[in-house]
A and B are shown apart, each in its own frame.
Chain A
Amino acid sequence: MDYSKQIQDIAAKLFTDGKIDVFVGYRMNGFDDNQVPAVITDPKEVSTLVFTEKSVFNLSNYLKADHTRNKRVGLVVKGCDSRSLNLLLTESQVKRDKLYIIGIACEGVVDDKGQKVQNCMECIIPDAVVYDEILGTPKGKKDYIVNADIKALAEKGLVERREYFEEIFENCIRCNACRNSCPLCYCTKCCIDQETATIYNGSNTSSSAFHALMTWSLHLAGRCVDCRNCEKACPSHLPLHLLHKQNEKVIFGNFQNHLAGVEEGDRGAFYKYSLKDPDDFIM
């Protein structure tokens, strides 16, 4: 999966045609074989753009940044990225006519060791769902697989699970990198940032990490697209996907196989309801 040449050509053409002001893609980080996002405003820098299976970041996160707001943007999206972009479009955060989207029929990205990452192994929609042009051959939808870590956790006892998660919340340093790396967290003032209001948490302790991460994951439930930008950003390498995948599993299983961002105009599982939703857990 190497589309570097095609993306360079498309970006150069977009700049010469005057269709975009900014192009958001990937470039090499300059010290090893990993890549970092590239926010390009100068057409001369187009030759630095690359796209391989090491292009891990979800670039739709950069649509909320200073450089791209209210500008015409060219953007590269993989399958999961395009779902989050779809949600941003639905939630009126970006305008479709200001975007030129290069979709990728993704074959999965790899981690530092060259192994395919877990979310790509379990990926349901590898092809971009929203695009102006698509690179690669679309492979179509796959079946939903329940995350292996969630399955393993469900088999553990209550005390064991509590101990495991206590460790997670203790090792969280509350840097908010997960929240800031999430393309769908675009609130101008996040509820977990409000340290002056007494009901929120200003301290940097495990109890406030619990509060922040739980609130954050529940606010993303039914919207999370499993791009794992949060997990890649975490400096403590916490398995944050557990929280999101658990919500995804419950939502997919109970709410008519709902998956976030697949269809245009679909706002997320908590913005709609069905009369057939499960009721047996309520007295």
Chain B
Amino acid sequence: MEAEVKDKIVSIEKPELVAPPDWKPVIMGILCNWCSYAGSDLTGTSRMQYPPNIRIIRVPCSSRVDPWFIIKALQTTADGVLISGCHPGDCHYISGNYYARRRFLVTKELLKMVGFHEHRVQYSWVSAAEGAKFAQVVKKVTEDVVKLGPLHLYKKENFSK
């Protein structure tokens, strides 16, 4: 189920750079503890498959995600970032995801302006009962990032390719 990489994938932001043949995208998933993380657990226990390119980090709430988590991820190994939280109204802390939603929009638009493709950073609401949706979301994000190619922007020294 690993994302298939065809020959000659170029980085969309830097078309002069061609991905090496063995390149596989790395997606960082930041999931909220109460819904999305439980949702991803359900995906596993229900034996649904999703691409293994995602590396999951658990946070207490989607509003715990400071914009620089995303920036830091993009500057190190990640080629894409997925952030997932509870559906609006379902937040364990009542309103955390409403605050997060505002920050997500601003961060997304700013990254878009400075030259990152908008599919590099994606957001989703996944509840604890939506195992199938989580598999679908990860599949979509991985497919998107494969199309975009490796990320080369502003990488830290030990991660510059």
Contact = CB atoms under 8 A, between A and B. Distances in A.
Contacts of A269: 102
Nearest to B123: A282
B115 A161 contact: yes
B115 A166 contact: yes
B6 interface: no
A218 B106 contact: yes
Given A211-B72, A282-B123, A162 B14 contact: yes
Contacts of A153: 113
A162 B106 contact: no
A278 B105 contact: yes
A279 B154 contact: no
A214 B115 CA distance: 12
Interface stretch (B20-28, B42-50, B53-61, B93-101): B93-101
Interface residues of A, number: 47
A181 B27 CA distance: 37
Nearest to B88: A279
B110 A214 contact: yes
B155 A207 contact: yes
A211 B88 contact: no
Contacts, number: 122
Contacts of A205: 157
Interface residues of B, number: 40
Contact of A283 (B102, B110, B123): B123
A14 interface: no
A221 B68 CA distance: 13
A172 B67 CA distance: 21
Contacts of A243: 110, 114
Interface string B145-158: 00000000111110
B71 interface: yes
Contacts of A207: 75, 154-157
Contacts of B140: 283
A146 B153 CA distance: 28
Contacts of A282: 101, 104, 123-125
Given A165-B115, A211-B75, A159 B15 contact: yes
A255 B115 contact: no
A215 B156 contact: no
Contacts of B102: 222, 251, 255, 269-270, 273, 277
Given A162-B153, A214-B68, A283 B114 contact: no
A218 B110 contact: yes
A237 B45 CA distance: 56
Counting from the closest, the 9 A-B pairs by CB-CB distance are A162-B115, A273-B98, A283-B124, A218-B67, A210-B154, A165-B114, A282-B123, A207-B154, A215-B68
28 contacts: A150-B113, A153-B113, A154-B113, A158-B12, A158-B117, A159-B14, A162-B13, A162-B115, A207-B154, A207-B155, A207-B156, A211-B68, A211-B75, A214-B111, A218-B68, A221-B110, A246-B110, A247-B106, A247-B109, A250-B106, A271-B99, A275-B88, A277-B98, A279-B101, A281-B105, A281-B108, A282-B123, A282-B124
